[in-house]
């Protein structure tokens, strides 16, 4: 597996440093169920604005994930941008296009352009830098991410093995797959987001301070601002710092230790997966099928 960093992760994870490991750990898990929903019970409104806010219900630890549907307009790709053409999913492009023209993003592009010109190997492949966003439209997100996920045939990282162990005890009928590819979760609305999207080969954290965290924070803010009732699973200290980007009056945050072997004893038993599904069922939505074929 290719490592983007030494230890951490933004969606389910290792000790949370500043950079995730592609194909191994992530740290911030956002679960968004985006279809139309018929509420099975009356929900308290906590805001008088146009957007409905889901209030906590008795004995519920999480909110059902629901997004606000909106008509997307065609969004032009910023001119002279090295990376903008790689983000081709329209709903994300519309929300994030302004970031490509900002000084911090130009610095990201300059660093990558120099690395590629010098023949350095940068992971992931250029076309996959925005894979998590391209695979999971904002208004449909139930997401797949590069965090923890590895291609079939590549050994499962220790953190991912621990995630599967927790799933086996938390979700009835879950069977650990013989691979570590989490693509199936994409169709279920699980978004796994790395804090840093690129890294040089054999240089952990080499791109941790070039500006990527500003961009991925913007991704989190986009979900926060344009969706409601999203379940944020923050695994590990680094991911939990992102809680400040989440409006907990309209979303819910579930925190747990990172699934890394270094903190696995505190991760096991967190029951994050069943809590998310219980909330979804409480609001008349289909629970996430965590099984991977």
Q: How many Å apart are CA 270 and CA 142, to the nearest integer?
A: 21
Quick check: 75 pLDDT over 50?
A: yes
Q: Is the pLDDT of residue 123 over 70?
A: yes
CA dist 129 and 123 (Å) reads 8
| Ramachandran sector of residue 258 (left: φ over 0; alpha: ψ -120 to 50; beta: rest) | beta
Residues 147-176 as b or e (16 or more Cβ within 10 Å = b): bbbbeeeeebbbbbbbbbebbeebbeebeb
Contact between 46 and 60 (Cβ < 8 Å): no
Q: Give the rounded percent of residues in the chain with a pLDDT score beyond 70.
A: 71
CA–CA separation, 102 and 136 (whole Å): 24
Spans of all domains in the chain: 28-282
Confidence of residue 27 (pLDDT cuts 50, 70, 90): low
pLDDT band at residue 276 using 50, 70 and 90 as cut-offs: confident
State the Cα–Cα distance between residues 60 and 137, nearest whole angstrom. Answer: 28
Strands 66-67 and 199-200: unpaired
Instruction: Please state the pTM of the whole predicted model.
Output: 0.74
CATH number listed for the domain at residues 28-282: 3.40.470.10
pLDDT higher than threshold 70 for residue 84? yes
Residue 92 pLDDT: 93
First to last CA, the chain: 20
Helices 158-170 and 272-282 pack at an angle, to 10 degrees, of 50
157 touches 150 (CB < 8 A): yes
- Cα separation, 3 vs 121, whole angstroms: 13
């Amino acid at each position: 597996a290719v490592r983007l960093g030494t230890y951490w992760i933004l969606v389910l994870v290792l000790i949370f440093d500043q950079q995730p490991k592609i194909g191994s750990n992530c740290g911030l898990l956002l679960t968004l169920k985006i279809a139309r929903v018929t509420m099975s019970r009356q929900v308290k409104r906590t805001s008088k604005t146009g957007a409905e806010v889901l209030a906590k219900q008795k004995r519920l630890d999480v909110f059902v994930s629901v997004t606000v549907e909106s008509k997307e307009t065609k969004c032009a790709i910023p001119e002279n941008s090295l990376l903008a053409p790689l983000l081709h999913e329209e709903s994300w492009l519309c929300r994030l296009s302004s970031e490509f023209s900002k000084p911090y993003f130009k610095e990201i592009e300059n660093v990558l352009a120099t690395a590629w010109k010098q023949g350095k190997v940068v992971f992931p492949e250029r076309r996959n830098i925005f894979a998590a966003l391209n695979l999971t439209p904002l208004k449909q997100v139930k997401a797949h991410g590069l965090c923890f996920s590895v291609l079939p045939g590549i050994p499962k990282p220790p953190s991912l093995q621990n995630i599967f162990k927790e799933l086996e005890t938390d979700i009835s009928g879950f069977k650990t797959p013989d691979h570590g590819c989490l693509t199936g979760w994409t169709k279920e609305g699980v978004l796994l987001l790395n804090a840093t999207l690129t890294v040089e080969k054999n240089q952990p954290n080499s791109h941790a301070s070039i500006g990527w965290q500003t961009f991925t924070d913007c991704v989190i803010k986009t979900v926060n601002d344009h969706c409601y009732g999203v379940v944020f699973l923050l695994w590990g200290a680094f991911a939990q710092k992102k809680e400040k980007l989440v409006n907990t009056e309209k979303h819910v945050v579930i925190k747990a230790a990172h699934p890394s072997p270094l903190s696995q004893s505190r991760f096991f038993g967190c029951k994050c997966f069943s809590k998310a599904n219980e909330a979804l069922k409480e609001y008349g939505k289909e629970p996430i099928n965590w099984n991977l074929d």
